[in-house]
Amino acid sequence: MSEEEEDFVESEETQLTDDQKIEIAKWFLLNAPAGEIQYVAKDVRAILKDENLYKKAAEESFPSYNKSHLICLDFPNRSGDVLITSFSEVDKDEYLDPRTAQVAIVDHVKQVCKEVRPARDEELPSAFVEEYRSSMDAEIMKYVSETYPKGVCSVYCTKGKDVEEPGFDFELVVVISAARHSPQNFCNGSWRSIWNIEFKDEIQSIEVSGKMQVGAHYFEEGNVQLDANHECKDTTLIQSPDDSAFSLVNIIRHHETEYLASLQTSYLKLPDTTFKDLRRKLPVTRTLFPWHNTAQFSLTRDIEKELGIGK
Residue range(s) of every CATH 3.30.1140.60 domain in the chain:
15-69, 70-124
Quick one: pLDDT at residue 13?
A: 47
CATH architecture assigned to 125-274: Alpha-Beta Complex (3.90)
Residue range(s) of every CATH 3.90.1150.210 domain in the chain:
125-274
- Length, in residues, of the chain: 311
Sign of CA dihedral 124, 128, 133, 139: positive
Pick the CATH number of 70-124 from 3.30.1140.60, 3.40.50.2300, 3.30.420.40, 3.30.70.1170: 3.30.1140.60
pLDDT in tens, 80-135: 899 999 999 999 899 999 999 999 999 999 999 999 999 999 999 999 999 999 99
Q: What is the DSSP letter of 121?
A: G
For the structural domain made of 15-69, what CATH number should be given?
3.30.1140.60
pLDDT at 288 over 80: no
Quick one: pLDDT at residue 223?
A: 86
Q: How far is CA 299 from the centre of its chain?
A: 51
pLDDT in tens, 203-247: 999 999 999 999 999 988 888 888 999 999 999 999 999 999 999
CB atoms < 10 A from the CB of 173, how many?
A: 20
pLDDT in tens, 168-201: 999 999 999 999 988 888 899 999 999 999 999 9
